Amino acid sequence: MDIAVLGAGAMGSVYGAFLASQPENNVTLIDIWREHIEAINAKGLTINTPEGDMVVKNLTAVTSALDLKPQDLVIIFVKATVTEEAMRQAANLVGPSTIALTLQNGLGNIEKLCRVVDPKRVVGGINSYGSSMKGPGEVILRGRGETVFGEIDGSQSERLSNLKKVFDKAGLPSSVTTNVQGRIWTKLISNIAINAPCAILGIKNGRLLEHPESVTLLEGAVTEAVAVGKAMGIIFETDDPIQYAKKVIDNTGENVCSMLQDIRAKRQTEIAVINGAIVEGGFKHGIPTPINMVLTNLVKVIQENYPAK
Ligand code: PAF
Is 197 a pocket residue for ligand 1 (Cβ < 6 Å)?
no
Mean pLDDT of 258-285: 97
**Closest among 284, 10, 305, 289 to 135, alpha carbons compared:** 10
Q: What is the pLDDT of residue 215?
A: 98
**Length of the chain, in residues:** 309
Domains of the chain: 2-178 (3.40.50.720), 181-303 (1.10.1040.10)
* CA atoms within 13 A of residue 270's CA, in its CB half-sphere: 24
Out of 79, 102, 128, mutate this one to test ligand 1's pocket (max ligand atoms within 8 Å of CB): namely: 128
pLDDT at 240 over 90: yes
Q: Which residues pair with 56 in a beta bridge?
A: 45
pLDDT at 32 over 90: yes
Nearest CA residue ID for atom 5, ligand 1? 128
pLDDT at 309 over 80: no
Average of per-residue pLDDT values in the chain: 97
Angle between helices 180-201 and 290-304 (to 10 degrees): 60
Nearest CA residue ID for atom 8, ligand 1? 191
Nearest CA residue ID for atom 1, ligand 1? 258
* Percent of the chain whose predicted confidence (pLDDT) is above 90: 96
Q: What is the pLDDT of residues 174-233, one digit of tens each?
A: 999 999 999 999 999 999 999 999 999 999 999 999 999 999 999 999 999 999 999 999
Q: What is the DSSP letter of 117?
A: S
Is 71 a pocket residue for ligand 1 (Cβ < 6 Å)?
no
Point out the residues that are catalytic: 187
Of the two residues 61 and 308, the one the predictor is more confident about is 61
Of the two residues 128 and 236, the one the predictor is more confident about is 236
Is 127 a pocket residue for ligand 1 (Cβ < 6 Å)?
no
